[in-house]
Amino acid sequence: MLESLIGTPDELHIIIFATKQDFINYKDDDERLQYLHLKETSIEKTILIEGALL
């Protein structure tokens, strides 16, 4: 499914957070945000998929 959405990805990272608040804390982390421009200039496309464990 993912390949059909974006072509063949060069890398795929799967990150699991215990809670939605843990994800928000990660997303808003000051140290992460300090380096965000490096990610944005080196990655062509990012797709965020929110799911639930069954």
Q: Would 51 be classed as within a structural domain?
A: no
pTM of the model as a whole: 0.69
The range of the structural domain enclosing residue 21 comes to 2-42
CA atoms within 13 A on the CB side of 27: 9
Nearest to 15 by CA among 49, 54, 45: 49
pLDDT at 2 over 70: no
Q: Would 36 be classed as within a structural domain?
A: yes
What was the pLDDT predicted at 52?
84
List pLDDT tens digits, range 4-50: 666 776 788 889 999 999 999 999 999 999 999 999 999 888 888 88
Q: Would 47 be classed as within a structural domain?
A: no
Selected residue with higher pLDDT from 3 and 30:
30
Which residue intervals of 1-54 are DSSP H helices? 2-6, 20-27, 30-34, 36-42
- One-letter amino acid at 7 equals G
Q: Would 17 be classed as within a structural domain?
A: yes
- One-letter amino acid at 19 equals T
Number of domains in the chain: 1
